[in-house]
Amino acid sequence: MSKENKNTPKKQHLIHYENGKSLEEINGTVPVPHGKGFWKTLFAFSGPGALVAVGYMDPGNWSTSITGGQDFQYLLMSVILLSSLIAMLLQYMAAKLGIVTQMDLAQAIRARTSRTLGIVLWIMTELAIMATDIAEVIGAAIALYLLFGIPLVWAVFITVLDVLVLLLLTKIGFRKIEAIVVALILVILFVFTYYVILSKPDWGAMAKGLIPVTATFSKHLSVNGYTPLAGSLGIIGATVMPHNLYLHSSISQTRKINHNNKQDVADAVRFTTWDSNIQLSFAFVVNALLLITGVAVFKSGAVKDPSFFGLFRALSDTSVMNNGILAKVAKTGVLSTLFAVALLASGQNSTITGTLTGQIIMEGFIHMKMPLWMRRLVTRLLSIIPVLICVAQTASYSAVRQHEALNNLMNNSQVFLAFALPFSMLPLIMFTDSKTEMGSFKNNFLVKFFGWLSVIALTVLNMYSLPDAIVGFYGDNPTAAQTSQGHLIAYILIAVVGLLLIWTVYDLYRGNEHYKKKLAANERKETN
């Protein structure tokens, strides 16, 4: 019997150690032209931005934007614009980090921190991804219920089957996955554009709303117990999500470039930034259309139930429509059906990006790899547990109360995003500000200034909104004792987050200094 060839690759277990390139199966697999025109080159680099933009228009954004429009007209339009500009800045830094260092954000953090902190940050980021997945489960299950009348329990289980869709996508190539995501984004864009065209909004008032004013962040102007500040924090929290930074730092590496050629790297950063900004502009338009829908499609204050069920019903209720044309179309059921289709498209888009991000952080933080279908199955099965518990507990309630419970679960699950966001933003700006890590590609003064301003502002706003978010777990009418208890829990969590951030900054600084000394030692050896 002949001996096994030494060059034969060793068979790997289903779950195994991995410390190679980020998403190695697709890393550097998409060829790009050299010396061609701007548009042809931009087309070759286009795609990763669409996957990132999905996170900025997922089901979690819908109710916050529509409710903001219902309660405050165009006042919060400026918050959507500011959130989008911050997103463009953060995603630019994330993509640049991946292209220049050839590491994704999770790998970069792990390389500069201790093993213990790496595990802590991995668990925190996994919880944030699960929280995002809960919103996707609820959105997709409700869409199936609304479109086909499938009972919610069965609809929740059916969402697990999207793993089969993912299995198919892994066989057709990354470029085709990007095309499918773009197609689904266009479906969402079409639906809400159609709504807005029929509603004939006040474009002057909308343009005026793009300019932030003092009232935008007011705590005193209250509509239905909801203040502009709460609405602003809800929109910001639903828009800027930590997993997108990990995702973009990885998939920006899917283009095949010569990293030894500085001009090739610079071109990759440039065109990837164009792609990202164009796609995030589409995300801004979708979120703006959602807010306009709340203002112009429905009569002011007419939508009492901002859940997906309530919005679906309202879109077929002629009495709440803002004009006769809308009422006529609503009567046919077209508006409500299109809403459910867009909701399903949004959920499926998030399925693709959420699974890729889960694999990125698992490989980056703890160097563990499993097949994408298994990763999706595990995450989705864990995510459906709280949704099933919520559905089971409210089975005997009225339909309205059950719908409110699901809506509250979705909103409350987003609290984990407030914890995870600073731990992705802070390392990102520290890495991209560092000449040791980035060389001549480090952030210039303007990027550095607005980057730190965004990181500090978002961290403070997230922590500021945390007490009210924790109290939200007690229901719509918490007692004084529950409110006090919720605030105490929030302040303890804020203190824990603060200490973890200090630990993270210290470890990153120490790791960067160690890497700087290592580079200096290597340079001395080469000189000698």
Q: What is the CATH number of the domain that holds 75?
A: 1.20.1740.10
Collapsed DSSP state (helix, strand, coil) of residue 220 = coil
Collapsed DSSP state (helix, strand, coil) of residue 166 = helix
The amino acid present at 154, given as its one-letter code, is W
Which DSSP symbol is given to 296? I
Q: How far apart are CA 281 and CA 57, in angstroms?
A: 11
Q: Is residue 6 part of a domain?
A: no
439: left (phi over 0), alpha (psi -120 to 50) or beta: left
104: left (phi over 0), alpha (psi -120 to 50) or beta: beta
Decide: 99 and 253 in contact? Cβ < 8 Å: yes
- Token pair, residue 513, equals 């200094």
Q: How far apart are CA 446 and CA 326, in angstroms?
A: 46
State the pLDDT at residue 42. Answer: 92
State the pLDDT at residue 103. Answer: 92
Q: How far apart are CA 213 and CA 92, in angstroms?
A: 27
The amino acid present at 247, given as its one-letter code, is L
Q: Is residue 123 part of a domain?
A: yes
* Helix segments in 370-479, DSSP class H: 372-393, 399-413, 415-433, 435-438, 445-471
Q: How far apart are CA 494 and CA 528, in angstroms?
A: 51
Give how far the C-alpha of residue 485 lies from the chain's centroid of Cα atoms, to the nearest Å.
30
- Token pair, residue 82, equals 């500011």
The amino acid present at 411, given as its one-letter code, is N
State the pLDDT at residue 252. Answer: 93
| Run of H or E residues at 16 | strand 16-17
Which DSSP symbol is given to 74? T
Number of domains forming the structure of the chain: 1
- Helix orientation angle between 228-239 and 59-72, rounded to the nearest 10 degrees: 160
Decide: 287 and 57 in contact? Cβ < 8 Å: yes
Q: Is residue 185 part of a domain?
A: yes
Neighbour count for residue 436 (Cβ, 10 Å): 15
State the pLDDT at residue 402. Answer: 78
In this structure, the dihedral spanned by the alpha carbons of residues 94, 99, 100 and 105, taken in order and rounded to 10 degrees, is 40
Q: Is residue 4 part of a domain?
A: no
Q: Is residue 407 part of a domain?
A: yes
Q: How far apart are CA 349 and CA 50, in angstroms?
A: 10
Neighbour count for residue 71 (Cβ, 10 Å): 25
Decide: 125 and 246 in contact? Cβ < 8 Å: yes
pLDDT in tens, the chain (528 residues): 444 444 444 555 666 556 678 878 788 888 888 878 899 999 999 988 888 888 787 776 777 788 888 888 899 999 999 999 999 999 999 999 999 999 999 999 998 998 899 899 998 888 888 888 887 788 888 889 999 988 888 888 888 777 666 656 666 677 777 788 888 888 888 988 998 999 889 899 999 999 988 888 887 777 766 788 878 877 887 777 888 899 999 999 999 999 889 999 999 999 999 999 999 999 899 989 989 988 888 887 777 777 788 888 888 888 888 888 888 988 898 889 988 888 888 777 777 777 788 888 888 888 877 776 777 777 777 778 888 888 888 877 777 777 778 877 777 776 777 778 889 999 999 999 998 889 899 999 999 999 999 989 888 888 888 888 788 778 767 888 989 999 999 999 999 999 999 999 999 988 888 888 887 777 777 776
Phi and psi at 223, nearest 5°, equal -125, 115
Q: Is residue 29 part of a domain?
A: no
Q: How far apart are CA 401 and CA 393, in angstroms?
A: 11
The amino acid present at 494, given as its one-letter code, is I
DSSP letter string over 363-379? Answer: HHHH-EE--HHHHHHHH
Containing structural domain, residue 331: 39-523
Q: Is residue 189 part of a domain?
A: yes
Phi and psi at 362, nearest 5°, equal -70, -45
Q: Is residue 470 part of a domain?
A: yes
Q: How far apart are CA 424 and CA 135, in angstroms?
A: 21
